[in-house]
Structure 1
């Protein structure tokens, strides 16, 4: 098995087609196809399945993709590890961020990091918190800024802040002011996030602990879909209060007691130490986020316990 074959294989899976992968890898498509055919013959298994929509990995191919990606990233980091940390940190860092945090922190973090660490190149991606935690464990990401209900297994974290969840309802004269107890949610029609979703994981656990099954009238992937369902009278949503700040008067948010919060943190693998560039980015983000939120307060966001 050759390193070149692994690199081509990962490129094909990322690109979703042989033709696009050939352009990215700057190699003729027949030569690319031959390398993959040789790799499949060596392993004695089919790694890629072809269809009219492109190319995707088989189950065995998915496993190889995870391992090959981790190997290639480690090789990419070798110069940084060998040379050590000089006067100025440099290298590439694969950074993931929870989709629900991108609009709040994505731009500020990338801009400030570029200024503070000019020789560090961030390779940025976004996904759900559960998906990002899996990628940290698979070592296809160096760092991820995400939400946790409880610490993810296989990850170490630096807590950044707590973000409280609120019951969001249509504004009307029938909605009483003040907070609402978690037990009172049992009698309400609820619009909740589709699983798998970290907010849903936390809520489902709390429903079980409270001893009742929620009345779920709808499920949605996005907070915008939840707000649309709430506005249409489908039910009440549970989400961060900050997501409704741009729609005053349309929605009414009630604090849930006792407080239901998610912890935002920056996590890395518990098994593989970060290289110097990864450590620098982690430490920079930890300090930057706390200062940024102090200067730009967000509803329902509080400092996290260390």
Structure 2
């Protein structure tokens, strides 16, 4: 007796005939019949009664197939779990979250983990199609039901500008004042930087764009303008200062994303620890 023969018996029971089962299994009917006979011989009982209209489980067959189906399902789950442990996991990380990644990695102890720089929107698509196991990104407006999220950190949006800038001396800056200054944004995620202005009916003056978060900060340091949406827990050059904003602006929310159906317990556990420590 082997597992293949048990699978064949399950297929025959579901199909109700050898002919239909052979079609589903893509094997010849005589071959399927021989495998069934071999299984019945190994067990020592008939599993099916045969007739011109098809096959029907015997009482012994019903007892065997009930337990065999559970066993085959358990075997398949075991194989899936083993393959999952043997494969490398991919973690997407949005730009500007290197500090979060540095705190997350020591909790994982997984030499197979691969980190993939990736915008949040792309992370969501990749998590859905299984090419990415999890991601660190910024809270999206909505998510597919299959993708779970965990809030890791919430930070107020503040202006980041040179300390010698005229607005840097204020305790809090109004968006209307900032709108007249050049706003430096990343090339791929400028929308998040404009949201506060749009909510308040303002049209900010757009300055240069940079490929990455680090280069945005460098442009601000070089005097190209100011920026928003840089979490104040992220180290910045001494020449720069964070200044609160007068208006209420939606906070920056860093989230951990994963597929609800995936076996990523270690990643989720590490993310929970990260969330607890802020």
CA shift, 1:254, in A, is 1.0
1:283 correspondence with 2:272: no
What is the TM-score normalised by the length of structure 1?
Answer: 0.56
Deviation at 1:123, TM superposition (A): 3.2
Structure 2 counterparts to residues 1-306 of structure 1, below 5 A: 81-83=77-79, 90-92=85-87, 93-102=89-98, 104-114=99-109, 121-153=112-144, 155-172=147-164, 174-175=166-167, 176-194=169-187, 196-197=188-189, 200-242=190-232, 245-248=235-238, 250-256=239-245, 257-269=247-259, 273-275=261-263, 278=264, 280-293=265-278
Query: Partners of 2:161 and 2:102 in 1: how far apart?
Result: 30
Per the alignment, do residues 163 and 138 of structure 1 end up closer, same or farther by CA in structure 2, a change over 3 Å counting? farther
Q: What is the alpha-carbon distance in structure 1 between the residues aligned to residue 122 and residue 229 of structure 2?
A: 19
Whole-Å separation in 1 of the counterparts to 2:276 and 2:184: 34
Counterpart-to-counterpart distance in 1, 2:75 and 2:255? 29
Larger Rg belongs to: 2
Q: Is the 8 A contact 2:151 2:275 kept in 1?
A: no
Cα distance, 1:238–1:80 mapped onto 2, change above 3 Å: farther
Helix, strand or coil: the match of 1:99? coil
**CA–CA separation in structure 2 for the residues paired with 1:138 and 1:113:** 23
Tell me, in whole angstroms, the C-alpha distance in 1 between the residues paired with 2:143 and 2:203.
25
How many equivalent residue pairs? Answer: 200
Distance in 2 between residues matched to 1:99 and 1:203, nearest whole Å:
14
How far residue 146 of structure 1 moved from its aligned partner, in angstroms, is 1.2
Q: CA deviation at 1:141?
A: 0.7
Return the TM-score normalized by structure 2.
Answer: 0.61
SS of corresponding position for 1:135: helix
Once residues 201 and 159 of structure 1 are traced to their aligned partners in structure 2, the CA distance between those partners, rounded to angstroms, is 20
Indicate if the aligned counterparts of 1:149 and 1:262 stay in contact, CA closer than 8 A. no
Q: Over aligned residue pairs, what C-alpha RMSD do you find?
A: 3.1
Over 3 Å counting, the alpha-carbon distance change for 1:245 and 1:95 in structure 2 is closer
Distance 1:173 1:210 in 2: 24
Distance 2:75 2:253 in 1: 35
Using the alignment, how far apart are the partners of 2:129 and 2:161 within structure 1?
A: 39
- Structure 1: tracts of 5 or more residues without a match: 1-77, 294-306
What is the CA-CA distance between 1:143 and the residue it aligns to? 1.0
Flag the 1:149–1:188 CA change in 2: closer, same or farther, 3 A: farther
